[in-house]
Structure 1
Amino acid sequence: PQQAEALNDQLKHLIEEGGGNVAKIEYWGLRNLTYRIKKNRKGHYSLLAIDAPAPAVKEMERQLSINEDVLRWLTVRVEELDLELSPLLARRERERERERERTPREDAAAEAAD
């Protein structure tokens, strides 16, 4: 995770140097790859929402292609940046909330049973 976060910070610095802005960075964690890439079954996923001029994006893509630790990347141009949590992280957050709600009730039920 530290290596992935360091790469995210490096990309943020690169975009800002190129006159762009990084609106959000989401680290999705270690996930299974759909298929093996360079003999790897798992990879660290990140989502960056950036607003940057074309030369800054090109330089970011060049740096990603040079970095041996980066297996794949995808750059998508959008009309408007979405600053909300991604569906993946929103689902995780809902699950955490449910777990937090469940835990106090279970503790109270266990105390009542004693």
Structure 2
Amino acid sequence: MPLYEHVMIARQDLSNAQAEGLVEHFSTVLADNGGKVVDSEYWGVKTMAYKINKNRKGHYAFLRSDAPSDAVQEMERLARLHDDVMRVLTVKVDAHEEGPSAQMQKRDERDTRRERR
């Protein structure tokens, strides 16, 4: 099955438990349609670059899934209809990276750039 990565932004006025509940809800949607969630991360409340629906901040969540395209389309459709979800980004990848995402790594661990001269 194809591999996908999903990033969701939920409204800022939700509690942490409610935001993590959204991740669980969409994980079960994928599972019910023949897919599985390989990994999920809750990134917390972050400031956005621009306002979305009059919100300056949002709860960010990240999912790695192994699911057929029909399951992903159904999850995205339900996320668009859900009042608490502001944005969903889904990207098809060739392989999932091992370990935590770049957002969850410490700055020292992920800094692979060369020094400037």
Do these two structures clear the TM 0.5 threshold for a shared fold by scoring above it? yes
Q: Which runs of 5+ in 1 are unaligned?
A: 95-114
1:43 matched to 2:43? The reply is no
Match of 1:3 among 14, 18, 37: 18
Give the TM-score, by structure 2 length: 0.76
Query: What is the aligned residue count?
Result: 94
| Structure 1 runs (4+) greater than 6 angstroms displaced | none
Give the TM-score, by structure 1 length: 0.78
Structural RMSD (CA) = 1.5
Equivalent-residue separation in structure 2 for 1:33 and 1:27 (angstroms):
16
Percent identity between the aligned chains?
42
Query: Whose radius of gyration is greater, 1 or 2?
Result: 1
Structure having the higher helix fraction is 1
Structure having the higher strand fraction is 2
Higher RCO structure, 1 or 2 (CA under 8 Å, sep 6+): 2
Equivalent-residue separation in structure 2 for 1:75 and 1:87 (angstroms):
17
Deviation at 1:21, TM superposition (A): 1.1
Equivalent-residue separation in structure 2 for 1:61 and 1:85 (angstroms):
23
Alignment deviations for residues 42-76 of structure 1 (CA, whole Å, 9 cap, x no partner): 00001100010011000000011001111111000
